[in-house]
């Protein structure tokens, strides 16, 4: 199986020159029936292979602790290289070419926010709690404050996540609504519409697999 077949990309983002993004899929040969940290460790080579396919070095990817909050950290690129990791952080943003942002999910929503004018971007971990706290509008406001982003220029893309009827709360719909309310044109807010619980050959699902599962990895950034 080629690495390319284990990466999903999104039509709303792919045409943007200089932007690199991807969403890693389930690896059929890696045992992930364990807790989060062990599962991620077992998947590390898979993630590295997929990043390499996208032309990204793992050393240039920032991650967060992901505590189901709304904190969005600015990644200044001063840490390059070195896999910067931010405590108590569920969102990352940058305007540094060559600095990439990574989010782990397994039912929660990975949200990409892109400013093609200022060449800035954000990656968010937005599940039930993060969405209720408003992490998407928080990121949009911070991109305005830090990078001068105009919400009218932003593109928002929601990756596969769990949805009704498999999950009782439609946080995916709320992410879209919140993004529009924060000033992003409705025509520039995109949802792939895929539920992670419906295809366990392609995705990991925390709920269906009772917590003993792997993680999908969303990555985004601008080329150097």
The Cα 26–Cα 159 span in angstroms is 14
Asked if residues 157 and 13 have their Cβ atoms less than 8 Å apart, the reply is yes
Domain ranges of the chain: 3-222
State the pLDDT at residue 78: 76
* DSSP-assigned letter for residue 17: T
Place of tokens 């020159």: 17
CATH number given to 3-222: 3.60.140.10
| Global pTM value | 0.96
The Cα 112–Cα 123 span in angstroms is 5
pLDDT tens, residue by residue, 19-75 = 999 999 999 999 999 999 999 999 999 999 999 999 999 999 999 999 999 999 999
Q: Is 185 helix (H, G, I), strand (E, B) or coil?
A: coil
């Amino acid at each position: 199986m080629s690495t390319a077949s284990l990466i999903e990309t999104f039509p709303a983002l792919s045409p943007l020159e200089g932007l690199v993004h991807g969403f890693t899929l389930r690896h059929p040969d890696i045992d992930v029936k364990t807790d989060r940290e062990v599962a991620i460790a077992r998947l590390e080579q898979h993630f590295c292979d997929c990043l390499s396919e996208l032309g990204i070095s793992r050393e240039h990817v920032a991650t967060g602790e992901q505590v189901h909050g709304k904190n969005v950290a600015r990644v200044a690129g001063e840490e390059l290289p070195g896999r910067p990791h931010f405590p108590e952080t569920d969102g990352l943003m940058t305007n540094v070419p060559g600095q990439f942002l990574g989010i782990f999910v397994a039912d929660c929503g990975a949200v990409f926010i892109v400013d093609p004018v200022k060449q800035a971007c954000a990656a968010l971990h937005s599940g039930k709690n993060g969405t209720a706290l408003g992490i998407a509008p928080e990121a949009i406001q911070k991109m305005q404050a830090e990078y001068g982003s105009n919400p009218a220029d932003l593109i928002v893309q929601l990756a596969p996540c769990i949805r009704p009827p498999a999950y009782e709360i439609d946080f995916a719909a709320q992410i879209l609504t919140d993004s529009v309310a924060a000033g992003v044109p409705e025509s520039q807010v995109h949802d792939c519409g895929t539920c992670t619980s419906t295809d366990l050959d392609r995705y990991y699902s925390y709920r269906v697999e009772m917590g003993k599962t792997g993680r999908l990895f969303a990555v985004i950034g601008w080329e150097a």
